[in-house]
Structure 1
């Protein structure tokens, strides 16, 4: 797990010592991603910067890494963030088929050798999380790629003087001058953020910076715009409803086997591996499988002082049941507020998910004990774990109504009082799936957006993001279509961003065994009734995990890291912080601060619960103060961790 940066200059501009120093300085901004070993390499066309967090083959596998075939041993230079879990199998295959001789024992060489012999098709053979860039000195081409699910980030920026790619946007913004980047705020991306609580890929809040999307690769040539190609599209198979009963146990056994294999491969490391344990079924399953490979496994949970906002007790019981040593971190309101500027600086882009705050603290605590943790992200998207996935079952009667009548029923909900039972059902039942579902978060309605965003545009709607994704899932069952939407929106826009950024902020590698191509292949074949029933979610996964997960969490709803911001925004330190931030904010071009003040007052007095909407705006204001105004300077210290754990 590391941080990479690569700059390719246009043909009329050669790399100078000044450019190399600038890239090295920009790379240093993400030293938290790899405090063990920095590195820089350059030729007359490209510069590569790197910060290494050494996990496998610690004594070797230095980066930037040079590799080439016998006839051109100096041909390629690699910078790579992530882990390839099947690297041992790939090394054996490459040695057998092409007589490849490896100089290290790590996974980095495997990537370059695979690319040399198989080209972009090598990406479908990699089982892992990755973002990497390979500079080909013979063809003067930079080949960049990102893993299928978007576990690891890769930002891209092209200006008049060249193209840069990097693990963190702050590094690319540092190169804005040399590249000639447009660093103005993208108001369309801001409107998407305000609705979704994250900036959807490939957008960022800066016009001149974009993200290479998950499951894509790009070719960057001097003087040309990057050519982006999608190599992976997750497809849920069309499985007939009512799978035969005798097939069900075989499915559960297949799920168990593929998860056991995935966890075993995710445990490969030359350092200590621990696990996050939230108290839900997903993280408990991962920890229970991991302890088979490390009997001294340490698990970690965060909680809050306020009653009802902690899974510590359940996590402690789970750790005891599987035989793991457990560490908890309780976060106070004061610590919460104090850490926010650091957290937003590490994020690069605003993400209005309060759960990233406890994740930051538990990652910091875990880093005192281990260098790698496993976690349960991705299980909900793959196996059908969100309660909202059950909505198509409750709305099924509306499918039998003629379209006109269905719309008329929806209009009946308009005059009904807010909060009246049945109002939401009538409204949502009148809408198509494409109209009503665009992921797991909606902070603002259009009417609320108009009140808060002076630059609101009717044409900048959520379907900008979801319509192309829905087009790929025609004919699938509605739950599979919702899963498909979440894989491209909520998962990679919120879940994986906070997982990567909060752990990397603490120089901790997080691995997600559910987000494995082999696990996905099994999950994608599940019929609808093996995912969702009227009484439960993740049905097949729960059945498969019965022999593995303690009984007290098997059918327990997952809370994740619940955060009491609804209460804290009404009184105390968080309310005071919010009021000060709103008054000092220089975001009048983008945000109607008077409307935000009214929202905060209504929330404080209990008139309405505006906590999610307030949090979305407040995080943008804080991001703007740090990144644009520079009126808030987070205290970022040099990482000081032991090299070995």
Structure 2
């Protein structure tokens, strides 16, 4: 929805405005800067709700309030607490006066909130849908790029190890030393404190007979909430069951626009024909975008700028171009379903370890350690035989031994244990909500769409729906998204429901090889000497056979380093 920036000391107006303008893409409708005795605060606005009156920053009685996002229940809160307010930011201010930091418990939505009341307080929604960065010297912003003019740039090597493991730094780290990312469901008042976490409380009243109706009801309510606003709202449509279901349920409220992207000449990656099936079925006004190798390279630097720090999900690139071609301010998207209902095929492989029994595990552990292989399968079995946690995120790329080989003196141990709850298969969901969804997928939706002045909303990632999923018995939740597929049978073509799960992929590795771009990894490393060159050569030589995601992570990081440090 917007961009916020605050600096709690004296700052030149021109330098502050320059930093705020670096985030102008997050809101072209209005810009406002205020100077107070305790700091300077600025706001860029993308107007969606209360378009003519919801002006920020709000400065009242020595208190400053700013927020980026949407509070879906703010009208309900106004009524419940009899508030004399009309807008979201005014409602936040009044709730702050009444409840202090506990006000955030009452909000439903996606948000990054800053409150200055004698000191700074920062808040982030429970999923991390809206980003918020800060330094311990009194600077905070919606994007890292607005903080960089005020600090000395240095690489955070702990974050680099996390990036190799999980495609992104993990909050509170960012790739820049001294710039912190507020974790989802947390607030900062000089220290990072948690205001929300997902809990597992099994409720046996939910059965395979009644679970689908309840999920459909919760999803319907979630979509209704996200149709809030005074602007037209469309839907992304990939051709998979999740986005198709969202678009179909959304279309019950009126004719909608849907948007998909594909790759001419690369049928294995192109899902537009499936998106077309759903669009025809629901009668949407459908738009198709073609993404090419030329666009990929031409737009690379722009995507890096929008990305803020390296995030090694290749789909950021077509997502950015898709957003560039959407003539709306708000779209809905299907993220979250696979993680909530175990839709990825690899989840099935990890489920198999729960019931596996081998009497000779210690012997097998010693055998594996004597015969190491640089492949993920070797590492997974090593963990199993060593009685370690096997599942460490669906998007785990470099495992620790590979990180140590790649970085040598710069390698750090990656802390995965904070995301392990011992909840059986629900560990998969909790871990991936925190890491894969929170640090990668939601950042793609925010950074790539806000770079094009569009807000993306995710109905599957609704607090009520997610809490419900965490209450389900294991056998009722099941696997392979059976619940979502049962619901989808009523709304989308059967061919969409039955088709095999396919990720949002495109031929990036083919294009990098065709243009001899992988040499950049070695060239950049010879200037920085961050990585072990011999190991880089091994990865590049093996390439697509084993290290496709590794290669992308290394190439993207090399482009980032070249842009920001060389």
What is the TM-score when the length of structure 1 is the normalising length? 0.82
Aligned to 1:443: 397
Partner of residue 48 from structure 2, selected from 55, 58, 63: 55
2:499 aligns to what? 556
Assess, with a 3 A threshold, how the Cα gap between structure 1 residues 337 and 166 changes in structure 2: closer, same or farther.
same
Q: How does 1:380-391 map to 2 (within 5 A)?
A: 380-391=338-349
1:99-125 deviation per Cα after TM superposition (whole angstroms, max 9, x unaligned): x212x4x32222222222222222122
Q: Is the 8 A contact 1:29 1:170 kept in 2?
A: yes
Which of 268-277 and 609-618 deviates more?
A: 609-618
In structure 2, the residue matched to 1:638 is none
Could you tell which deviates more after superposition, 20-29 or 590-599? Answer: 590-599
The 1:125/1:556 distance shift into structure 2, 3 A limit, reads farther
Correspondence for 1:633 = none
Q: Deviations over 1:179-224 (max 9, x none)?
A: xxx63211121122122221111111111111111001122xxxxx
Q: Tell me the residue number matched to 1:93.
A: 80
Counterpart among 174, 199, 202 of residue 235 in structure 1: 199
Q: Matched residue of 1:130: which SS?
A: strand
1:589 aligns with 2:529: yes
Q: Which residue of 2 aligns with 1:158?
A: 136
Is the CA contact (8 Å cut-off) linking 1:146 and 1:213 kept in structure 2?
Answer: yes
Q: What is the aligned counterpart of 1:300 among 250, 256, 259?
A: 259
- Aligned residue among 168, 189, 194 for 2:143: 168
How far residue 20 of structure 1 moved from its aligned partner, in angstroms, is 3.6
In 1, are the aligned partners of 2:374 and 2:402 still within 8 Å (CA)?
A: no
User: Cα–Cα, structure 1 residues 239 and 319, in superposed 2: closer, same or farther, change >3 Å?
Assistant: same
Q: Could you say which residue in structure 1 is the equivalent of 2:186?
A: 216
The DSSP-based 3-state class of the residue aligned with 2:393 is: coil
Distance 1:397 1:440, change over 3 A: closer
Instruction: Report the equivalent of 2:215.
Output: 255
**1 CA distance for matches of 2:488 and 2:62?**
48
Q: Distance in 2 between matches of 1:428 and 1:584?
A: 34
Cα offset, 1:479, TM superposition = 0.7
- Decide which of 23, 30, 34 is 1:37's aligned counterpart: 30
- C-alpha RMSD of matched pairs (Å): 2.5
Tell me the SS of whatever aligns to 1:124: helix
Instruction: Tell me which moved more, 330-339 or 594-603.
Output: 594-603
Note the alpha carbon deviations across 1:361-391, whole angstroms, 9 max, x for none.
111111xx21100001122222322223223
Which residue is equivalent to 2:517?
577
Cα displacement (A) at 1:504: 0.8
Do the aligned partners of 2:379 and 2:399 also contact (CA within 8 Å) in 1? Answer: no
- Provide the rounded CA distance (Å) in 1 between the counterparts of 2:382 and 2:525: 37
* Equivalence map 1:494-509=2 (5 Å): 494-509=440-455
Q: Does 2:293 correspond to 1:358?
A: no
SS in 1 for 2:84: coil
Measured after TM superposition, the shift of residue 461 of structure 1 is 2.3
Determine the structure 2 residue equivalent to 1:146. 124
How far residue 51 of structure 1 moved from its aligned partner, in angstroms, is: 0.7
Q: Does 1:409 align with 2:379?
A: no
Q: SS at the partner of 1:336?
A: helix
Q: Deviation digits for residues 222-253 of structure 1, max 9, x if unmatched? A: xxxx122201011122356xx77xx3332211
Question: How many Å separate the matches in 2 of 1:58 and 1:422?
Answer: 53
CA contact (8 A) 1:530 1:538 kept: no
SS at match of 2:16: helix
| TM-aligned CA deviation for residue 423 of structure 1 | 6.7
Query: Aligned with 1:249: secondary structure?
Result: coil
SS at match of 1:494: helix
1:377 and 1:495 in contact (8 A); partners too: yes
Q: How far apart are 1:616 and its partner, in Å?
A: 0.6
The 3-state SS of whatever aligns with 1:510 is strand
2:211–2:476 contact (8 Å) kept in structure 1: no
* Structure 2 contact 410–530 (Cα < 8 Å) conserved: no
Distance 2:112 2:368 in 1: 47
Cα separation, 2, equivalents of 1:313 and 1:410: 47
Q: Which residue of 1 aligns with 2:409?
A: 455
Say which SS state the counterpart of residue 121 (structure 2) adopts.
strand
Q: What's the counterpart of residue 532 of structure 1?
A: 478
Give 5+ residue unaligned stretches, structure 1. 10-14, 68-73, 177-181, 220-225, 630-645
Partner of 1:222: none
Of residues 549-558 and 117-126 in structure 1, the stretch that sits farther from structure 2 once superposed is: 549-558
Contact 1:449 1:456 in 2 (8 A): no
Does the C-alpha gap of structure 1 residues 185 and 420 become closer, same or farther in structure 2, counting only changes over 3 Å?
A: closer
SS of alignment partner, residue 344 of structure 1: helix
Partner SS for 2:8: strand
2:468 corresponds to: 522
SS in 1 for 2:394: coil
| In structure 2, C-alpha distance between the alignment counterparts of 1:609 and 1:334, rounded to whole Å | 26
- Cα distance in 1, alignment partners of residues 12 and 375 from structure 2: 63
CA shift for structure 1 position 343? 0.7
Q: Can you list the C-alpha shifts for 1:479-505, whole angstroms capped at 9, x where unaligned?
A: 111211111111111111111111011
Provide the rounded CA distance (Å) in 2 between the counterparts of 1:543 and 1:319.
20
Q: Report the secondary structure of 1:232's partner residue.
A: coil
Per-residue CA deviations over 1:453-501 (Å, capped at 9, x if unaligned) read: 24244xx223x1x21222xx24x2x211121111111111111111111
8 Å CA contact 1:275, 1:287 repeated in 2 = yes
**2-side partners of 1:602 and 1:514: how far apart?**
38
User: Does the residue aligned with 2:115 lie in a helix, a strand or coil?
Assistant: strand
Contact kept, 8 Å, 1:35 with 1:51, in 2: the verdict is: yes
| Structure 1 match to 2:427 | 481
Q: In the aligned structure 2, how far is the partner of 1:419 from the partner of 1:583?
A: 24
C-alpha distance in structure 2 between counterparts of 1:322 and 1:481, whole Å = 36
Shift of 1:65: 2.2
> C-alpha separation between the residues in 2 aligned to 1:410 and 1:593?
30
Match of 1:430 among 378, 385, 388: 385
Q: Call closer, same or farther: CA 1:423–1:520 in 2, change over 3 Å.
A: closer
State the Cα distance separating 1:356 from its structure 2 match: 1.0
- Following superposition, the deviation at residue 22 of structure 1 comes to 2.3
Query: Aligned residue pairs: how many?
Result: 565
Partners of 1:124 and 1:617 in 2: CA distance: 40
Q: What is the aligned counterpart of 1:510 among 456, 459, 463?
A: 456
Whole-angstrom CA distance in 1 between matches of 2:49 and 2:519 = 47
Unaligned runs of 5+ in 2: none
Out of 577-586 and 37-46, give the one that drifted further: 577-586
